[in-house]
């Protein structure tokens, strides 16, 4: 038997449940938490979400999330423009930046090749990466996809595309545990993985 609840609360629970990592119970907790907060706090959250959606874009160069195009990293003249580190998602840039070891540029694919989920190479920002390499300035592409089946398949696909271009293609060293996501790796592990990257 389904318990009676307000249609507005049910709708909010349903919307929270669509978020990654939020199951039905967590969605309910978030919705009921928002019922208890002040109107000002709820309004601040809603305004933050709307402002983010209205003001953020993808950088036309690296495809990372930014408020100004190109992004701060791509505009930084001190960055090593001969290296591009390819990551799956914008979240993956943050832990790599925290290491303070890598000083090159990035390229965000916005996903990985996953036939089971209907995601092919054309659904990723691979064409944009190839376009960036046409200038001839890039000497090394570091493939920093996650060390799982889809991440490895994506890395191998990109490696095959780049091989004829004469650009050095490296992969993060195996300091990262298999099946783990970059987002959860600690700084020491990421530093070792960056420093120990190997030729593919």
The topology under which CATH files domain 7-55 is Helicase, Ruva Protein; domain 3 (1.10.8)
Domain boundaries, the chain: 7-55, 58-199
pLDDT for 178: 65
Q: What are phi and psi of 75, to 5 degrees?
A: -80, -20
CATH topology (fold) of 58-199: Dna Topoisomerase Vi A Subunit; Chain: A, domain 2 (3.40.1360)
Write down the residue that tokens 């990257």 correspond to. Answer: 197
- 162-to-12, 64, 168 alpha-carbon distances in Å: 46, 21, 9
Question: What does pLDDT average to in each consecutive run of 10 residues of the chain (200 residues)?
Answer: 74 94 95 95 96 96 97 97 98 94 97 93 97 94 92 95 94 72 76 74
Given this model, what pLDDT does residue 34 score?
95
pTM above 0.75, yes or no: yes
Write down the H helix ranges in the chain. 7-17, 24-36, 39-55, 72-75, 93-98, 126-133, 149-162, 187-195
Judge whether 7-55 and 58-199 match in fold: no
Report d(CA 41, CA 15) in Å as an integer: 19
pLDDT for res 14: 95
| Number of Cβ within a 10 Å radius of residue 15 | 13
| pLDDT score for 197 | 74
Report, in angstroms and rounded to the nearest whole number, the Rg of the chain calculated over CA atoms: 20
In the chain, the largest separation of any two C-alpha atoms, in whole Å, equals 65
Helix (H, G, I), strand (E, B) or coil at 29: helix
């Amino acid at each position: 038997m389904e318990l009676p609840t307000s249609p507005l609360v049910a709708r909010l629970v349903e919307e929270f449940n669509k978020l990654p990592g939020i199951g039905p119970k967590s969605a309910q907790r978030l919705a009921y938490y928002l019922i208890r907060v002040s109107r000002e706090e709820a309004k601040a959250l809603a305004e933050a979400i709307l402002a983010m959606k209205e003001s953020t874009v993808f950088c036309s160069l690296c495809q990372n999330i930014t408020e100004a195009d190109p992004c701060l990293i791509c505009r930084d003249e001190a960055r090593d423009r001969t290296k591009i580190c390819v990551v799956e998602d914008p979240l993956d840039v943050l832990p790599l930046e925290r290491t303070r070891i890598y000083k090159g540029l990035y390229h965000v694919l916005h996903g990985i090749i996953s036939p089971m989920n209907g995601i092919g190479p054309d659904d990723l920002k691979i064409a944009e990466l190839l376009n960036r390499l046409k200038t001839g300035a890039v000497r090394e592409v570091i493939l920093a996809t996650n060390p799982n089946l889809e991440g490895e398949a994506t890395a191998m696909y990109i490696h095959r595309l780049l091989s004829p271009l004469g650009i050095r293609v490296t992969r993060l060293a195996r300091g990262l545990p298999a099946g783990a996501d970059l987002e959860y790796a600690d700084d020491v592990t990421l530093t070792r993985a960056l420093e120990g990257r190997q030729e593919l």
